[in-house]
Amino acid sequence: MKTKDQTIELLETIAKLLELKGENLFRIRAYTNTCRALETFSGNFQLAATNNELGDLNGIGEAIAKKISEYVVTGKLEYFEKLQAEFPDTIFELFELQGLGGKKIKALYDHLQIKAIIDLEAACKDGRVAKLPGFGVRTVANLLQAIEQRRKHSGRFLLGDANIWSNEMLDHLRQHSDVSQISAAGSLRRGKETIGDLDLLVATRNPAGIIEHFLVSNLIDHVLAHGDTKASVLLKSGIQTDIRVVANHEFPFALVYFTGSKEHNVVLRSRALQSGWTLNEYRLDPEPATRKDPKPIPTISTEADLYCALGLSYIPPELRENHGEIDAAEKGELPKLIEWQNLRGTFHNHTNASDGRNTLEEMAAAAQDLGFDYLGIADHSKSSFQAHGLNEQQLLKQVEAIQTLNKTFGPNFQLFAGVECDILKDGTLDFPNEILSQLDYVVASVHASFTLPEKEMTSRIIRAMQNPYVTILGHPTGRLLLSREPYQVDLTEVIKAAADTKTVIELNANPRRLDLDWRFWKFAKEQGVRCAINPDAHSAGGLQDLWFGIQMARKGWLTRADVINCFPLDQIRKFLGQKREAVESQPR
């Protein structure tokens, strides 16, 4: 049986192959649309595929549903194997080069048998490419530069890093006096966990001046393209950055367009057509080849106005992934998403007792500076040698220190004494229950034996959650974005077990983790699982990572009611005790 992830990968590959063949664009889109639909499908994928029920999903039709069934059940897809035979496997790496698409790659392959980047580089250098119809010396120079660029940079960047660079560029742009509105857009504004490039938008009456000012930033390595209203550059940090400049009254249209996602925009524009309008990044216009009387076009001065004109409630950027937000907005059923101001505290934080940098006192002060009502301390447990994990005595000593410190605070702030307890290979915990019961709460995390088979890993984690003292499951997949794959685990089962055992799941807000992935939170919420947004702070400044956690929670459609660290102090005190109470009230 093939998994959902394998199926999505297959369909993406088919889309690329069809591009190479110069297939109808809408047929290609059908395959990529199917991938988007599957990403957030939370039912039993293999069962649905086996029963050929995926065609019921919006965007998936009979033909692709049948192909998926064949692939999932038999492990093979004849259609794909025939397609695949027409091109070598290595050809896909050519798509990663800026400026190369299906058509050109096919021309290179047909005429020069170029099937990998290394072939292309040689053919560029010996002059063969420049002689091809449609290619020339400038194309060759650009291709060589694109090859160089790909060697230096992997192509994707952490949200945390991208956010810094974006702010630096925005600060630079703001120095120009003709900027009247400015915003980051693109996947950064949507809060994607990794970012391919930066998109910046400026409204001004002086487009040429803004572009000129943009291009002199000393953060820029070199310019890729520039015109009157848009420019692309490569920053020294290696990330491509695109700027668009529009007039003031065009700003809301441009902001929606430039924020994306692409799929979200496609749906918005086809909705506009239904009203007899055509939507672009500048305005709504009556559809020229009009087949019906267009509705009068309302005045639009904000993004919200535009969504309203299209019969939708305002859709926050984080939700614009064509993952059901349009339907919900049409019905007025979008949730009121969590905001930073809703946070009252947080739970997974380290001190210098294990591998953190700051003391208990300093961490408490930082939390109070942020206006929090409470802060949970969860240092590593003894098996995490590499992180100077605490042993039993050290942990109990820390509990005492926390209790002493708590007496110095007024009634409006409290430290909670916890631990980040290792989940051992067999699913037991690093400390016995007699120790855990002396804490206010326990975060249980996997820090070793990452390579267990999926079944064992899943039951290991579920066993840990069955412990009545485990309050929160920490970073559920162990992924490190762009550097370490998640361990093999059946998250659907883990989420269901979390619901059964009343265990909270962490949304680890460290920008390298952002784990549990936002795509699973809608399902978790439906199952009744609560979320804890934790920065996994290893210093006082690390608490700032909560911003990224908030963004991911918003992407996961979560509200303040779904996230336990939005609970006020008295409510969270009760909540932390609930799971274990059932056990402790039983006679021994």
Partner DNA sequence: GCCGTTTTCGGCCCGACTGTTTTCAGTCG
Single residue of 43, 75, 88, 136 touching DNA by CB under 7 A = 136
Under the criterion CB under 7 A, does residue 225 sit at the interface with DNA? yes
Single residue of 81, 126, 134, 408 touching DNA by CB under 7 A = 134
Q: Which stretch binds DNA (CB under 7 A): 268-276, 340-348, 442-450, 508-516?
A: 268-276
Query: For residues 537 and 211, what is the distance between their CA atoms, to the nearest angstrom?
Result: 39
Q: Helix, strand, or coil here: 390?
A: strand
To the nearest 10°, the Cα dihedral for 205, 209, 213, 214? Answer: 60
Question: Letter for the amino acid at 146?
Answer: A
Long-range contacts of 455-460 (CB under 8 A, 24+ apart): 455/490, 457/487, 457/488, 457/489, 458/489, 458/490, 458/493, 458/494, 459/427, 460/423, 460/425, 460/426, 460/427
Per CB under 7 A, contacts with DNA among 90-119 are: 97-105
Under the criterion CB under 7 A, does residue 266 sit at the interface with DNA? yes
Q: Number of residues interacting with DNA: please give it, by CB under 7 A.
A: 65
Under the criterion CB under 7 A, does residue 139 sit at the interface with DNA? yes
Under the criterion CB under 7 A, does residue 27 sit at the interface with DNA? yes
Per CB under 7 A, contacts with DNA among 494-513 are: none
| Alpha helices per DSSP H over 51-206 | 62-74, 78-84, 102-112, 117-125, 137-152, 159-174, 186-190
Under the criterion CB under 7 A, does residue 241 sit at the interface with DNA? no
Query: For residues 564 and 525, what is the distance between their CA atoms, to the nearest angstrom?
Result: 12
Q: Is residue 512 left, alpha or beta, with left meaning phi > 0 and alpha meaning psi from -120 to 50?
A: alpha
Query: For residues 252 and 246, what is the distance between their CA atoms, to the nearest angstrom?
Result: 10
For the bound state, the minimum distance from the C-beta of residue 245 to DNA, rounded and expressed in Å, comes to 8
- Pick between residue 275 and residue 346 the one whose CB is nearest to DNA: 275
Question: Hey, what are 290's tokens?
Answer: 């009009």
Under the criterion CB under 7 A, does residue 168 sit at the interface with DNA? no
Q: Which stretch binds DNA (CB under 7 A): 275-283, 301-309, 321-329, 475-483?
A: 275-283
Strands 277-279, 284-286: parallel, antiparallel or unpaired by DSSP? antiparallel
Under the criterion CB under 7 A, does residue 322 sit at the interface with DNA? no
For the bound state, the minimum distance from the C-beta of residue 291 to DNA, rounded and expressed in Å, comes to 3
- Pick between residue 156 and residue 357 the one whose CB is nearest to DNA: 156
Single residue of 53, 93, 168, 287 touching DNA by CB under 7 A = 287
Backbone angles phi, psi at 246, to 5 degrees: -135, 175
Backbone angles phi, psi at 379, to 5 degrees: -80, 165
For the bound state, the minimum distance from the C-beta of residue 100 to DNA, rounded and expressed in Å, comes to 5
Q: Which stretch binds DNA (CB under 7 A): 262-270, 317-325, 343-351, 413-421?
A: 262-270
Single residue of 11, 83, 120, 140 touching DNA by CB under 7 A = 140
For the bound state, the minimum distance from the C-beta of residue 59 to DNA, rounded and expressed in Å, comes to 5
Under the criterion CB under 7 A, does residue 125 sit at the interface with DNA? no
Single residue of 30, 489, 516, 572 touching DNA by CB under 7 A = 30
Q: Mark residues 191-220: x for contact with DNA by CB under 7 A, - for none.
A: -----xx-x---------------------
Single residue of 292, 397, 484, 574 touching DNA by CB under 7 A = 292
- Pick between residue 112 and residue 370 the one whose CB is nearest to DNA: 112
Nearest to 135 by CA among 98, 107, 96: 107
Q: Which stretch binds DNA (CB under 7 A): 287-295, 318-326, 328-336, 403-411?
A: 287-295
CB 493 within 8 A of CB 523: no
Q: Helix, strand, or coil here: 557?
A: coil
- Pick between residue 247 and residue 448 the one whose CB is nearest to DNA: 247
Helices 102-112 and 4-20, axial angle in degrees (round to 10): 70
Single residue of 77, 255, 279, 465 touching DNA by CB under 7 A = 279
Question: Hey, what are 11's tokens?
Answer: 């369909």
Q: Which stretch binds DNA (CB under 7 A): 213-221, 280-288, 437-445, 567-575?
A: 280-288
Under the criterion CB under 7 A, does residue 135 sit at the interface with DNA? yes
Distance (Å) of CA 358 to CA 9, 401, 475? 43, 15, 22
Question: Letter for the amino acid at 106?
Answer: K
Q: Rule CB under 7 A: which residues touch DNA? A: 24, 26-27, 29-31, 33-34, 55, 58-65, 97-105, 130, 133-140, 142, 186, 196-197, 199, 225-230, 240, 242, 258, 260, 262, 265-266, 269-270, 272-273, 278-282, 287, 291-292
